[in-house]
């Protein structure tokens, strides 16, 4: 019997976190400002969501919008944010850094992975900005990270099924590939059929604006995603 596929949902508010849990999501990526690509959530938001839902929470650590090449000051901020999150009963960290040549910053990402321990680290979609996904996978493995959130460089993960299939095969049992980006009820099943796939990720940003306050619409859109797995 095949293992169930888990769905992680990106949220940036207490209301959407509650809606995701009601819909049956298996975990949350908690962020601020998803309309900007996601930033580190405030500790107040982390605490309110943690008190309200029982789902695993993976907290994003990203100090600003834009590229993923960070200054010494920004890197220090990321380290401080990870230290603070250790006290908030979250189940994982989502982060990552690139070098100016668009390759993985192995050394500094590895520092954040070590600082996050024992919490697992997901390398986020900065991965998709690298020029060679196969090499980038090896580089992320070298950091000690546990998962890679990726659309295989495409705007929509459902348009990159073969590339994602290749990444899953290359990753083998060394690291988990977490496909995400542009997934919704109309296309998520195409990825769910991939052999060896264990997890998927969505924020429904292509069908519902991240700033839309109607959580009933968000919950209703999530339910068929879960039914398709």
Distance CA 105, CA 120 (A): 18
**212 three-class SS:** coil
Reported confidence tier of residue 2, pLDDT bands at 50, 70, 90? low
182: pLDDT strictly greater than 80: yes
pTM of the model: 0.96
Distance CA 17, CA 118 (A): 24
173: pLDDT strictly greater than 80: yes
**16 three-class SS:** helix
pLDDT in tens, 42-68: 999 999 999 999 999 999 999 999 999
**30 three-class SS:** strand
Average model confidence (pLDDT) for the chain? 96
143: pLDDT strictly greater than 70: yes
Walk me through the domains of the chain, giving residue ranges and CATH numbers.
6-227 (3.20.20.380)
1: pLDDT strictly greater than 50: no
DSSP string, 80-94: HHHHHHTTTT-SEEE
């Amino acid at each position: 019997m095949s293992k169930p596929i888990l769905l992680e949902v990106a949220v940036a508010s207490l209301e959407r976190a509650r809606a995701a849990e009601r819909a049956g999501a298996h975990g949350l990526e908690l962020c601020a400002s998803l309309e900007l690509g996601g930033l580190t959530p405030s500790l107040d938001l982390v605490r309110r969501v943690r008190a309200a839902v029982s789902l695993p929470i993976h907290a994003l650590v990203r100090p600003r919008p834009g590229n993923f090449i960070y200054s010494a000051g920004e890197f220090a901020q990321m380290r401080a944010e990870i230290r603070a999150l250790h006290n908030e009963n979250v189940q994982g960290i989502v982060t990552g850094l690139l070098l100016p040549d668009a390759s993985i910053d192995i050394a500094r990402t590895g520092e954040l992975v070590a600082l996050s321990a024992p919490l697992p680290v997901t390398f986020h979609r900065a991965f998709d900005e690298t020029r060679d996904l196969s090499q980038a996978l090896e580089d992320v493995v070298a950091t000690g990270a546990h998962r890679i959130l990726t659309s295989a460089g495409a705007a929509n993960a459902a348009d990159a099924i073969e590339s994602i299939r290749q990444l899953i095969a290359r990753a083998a049992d060394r690291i988990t590939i977490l496909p995400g980006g542009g997934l919704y009820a109309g296309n998520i099943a195409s990825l769910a059929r991939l052999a060896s796939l264990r997890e998927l990720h969505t924020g429904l940003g292509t069908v519902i604006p991240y700033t839309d306050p109607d959580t009933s619409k968000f919950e209703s859109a999530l339910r068929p995603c879960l039914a398709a797995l």
